């Protein structure tokens, strides 16, 4: 059976090469801004859902909080586990399944770790599972791309040279999805991957959240938490509370 693209690509070492600029420094800056806004109590418990190698989780723990991170990628979780402490634990888990139920004060889903499924039903399942893992009055932070701007300014072809690998990238928009074809040669082999992210709009999120009993409290458009502007913002960052 063909494996889903998001299993193979995110588990490959080359994903981490291509996105190496998405690093701990970016993560720290964003978490600083978020925590200023959210003002978590010192005993707050966090979940970093689809945490990758855990760049946000590691920083949150360094601030003294308790946090779990999970991801579907076994290789990423193996790397993240090197940073485990008493207050920081990592797990392999699918976002459609709650890791723990009614357990967290804050659930984060950061840097477009959403939109990979083929259907709104699966998206809803994931939002429901994240909500189930929150305590009542707990807060979900969903950090997605602003699809409207991405489609408007689609940079069709691009080559990125990183760590002696030449990544040839072609972006397109088809059937409600933003597709990114990535081709490169590495370790004497040719590789081809395709990222495929559903163009989920603010209205789609409003529908998912309403069904999950989440109330939106703020909408931001970048990692400095400037207000969301559909034409200009790079990100669509939703802050929603469980009723």
CA distances from 6 to 10, 15, 136, 224 (A): 6, 10, 31, 28
d(CA 59, CA 29): 10
177 binds ligand SAM (CB under 6 A): no
List the x/- string, 35-74, binding to ligand SAM by CB under 6 A. ---------------xxx--x---------------xxx-
Q: Which residues contact 7 (CB under 8 A, 6 or more apart)?
A: 72, 73
Nearest distance in Å: CB 52, ligand SAM: 3
Q: How many amino acids of this chain bind ligand SAM (CB under 6 A)?
A: 18
76 binds ligand SAM (CB under 6 A): yes
Cβ distance to ligand SAM smaller for residue 82 or 243: 82
Cβ distance to ligand SAM smaller for residue 52 or 138: 52
Give the residue among 7, 28, 32, 39 at the shortest CA–CA distance from 217. 39
Phi, psi of 124 (to 5 degrees): -65, -40
Cβ distance to ligand SAM smaller for residue 72 or 239: 72
Read off the DSSP letter of residue 132: H
Cβ distance to ligand SAM smaller for residue 137 or 222: 222
99 binds ligand SAM (CB under 6 A): no
List the x/- string, 100-139, binding to ligand SAM by CB under 6 A. ----------xxxx--x-----------------------
CB atoms within 10 A of CB 96: 17
Nearest distance in Å: CB 188, ligand SAM: 26
Judge whether 116 and 4 are in contact, CB under 8 Å: yes
Give the residue among 30, 55, 16 at the shortest CA–CA distance from 234. 30
- Nearest residue to ligand SAM, scored by beta-carbon proximity: 52
Region for residue 90 given its phi and psi (left: phi exceeds 0; alpha: psi -120 to 50; beta: otherwise): beta
What residues line the site for ligand SAM (CB under 6 A)? 6, 10, 22, 50-52, 55, 71-73, 76, 94-95, 110-113, 116
């Amino acid at each position: 059976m063909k494996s889903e693209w998001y299993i193979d690509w995110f588990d490959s070492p080359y994903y981490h090469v291509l996105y190496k600029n998405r690093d701990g420094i970016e993560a720290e800056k964003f978490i600083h801004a978020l925590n200023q806004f959210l003002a978590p109590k010192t005993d707050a418990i966090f979940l970093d859902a689809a945490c990758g190698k855990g760049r946000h989780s590691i920083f949150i723990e360094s601030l003294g909080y308790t946090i779990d991170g999970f991801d579907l990628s076994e290789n990423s979780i193996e790397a993240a586990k090197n940073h485990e402490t008493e207050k920081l634990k990592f797990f392999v888990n699918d976002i459609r399944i709650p890791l723990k139920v009614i357990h967290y004060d804050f659930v984060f889903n950061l840097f477009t770790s959403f939109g990979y499924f083929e259907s709104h039903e699966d998206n809803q399942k994931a939002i429901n599972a994240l909500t189930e893992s929150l305590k009542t009055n707990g807060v979900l932070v969903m950090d997605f791309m602003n699809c409207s701007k991405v489609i408007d300014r689609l940079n069709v072809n691009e080559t990125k040279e990183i760590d002696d690998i030449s990544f040839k990238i072609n972006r397109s928009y088809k059937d409600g999805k933003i597709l990114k074809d990535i081709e490169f040669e590495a370790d004497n082999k040719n590789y081809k991957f395709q990222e495929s992210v559903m163009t989920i709009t603010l209205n789609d999120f409003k529908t998912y959240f309403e069904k999950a009993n989440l109330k939106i409290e703020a909408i931001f458009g970048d990692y400095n938490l400037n207000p969301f502007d559909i034409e200009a913002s790079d990100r669509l960052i939703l802050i929603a509370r469980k009723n």
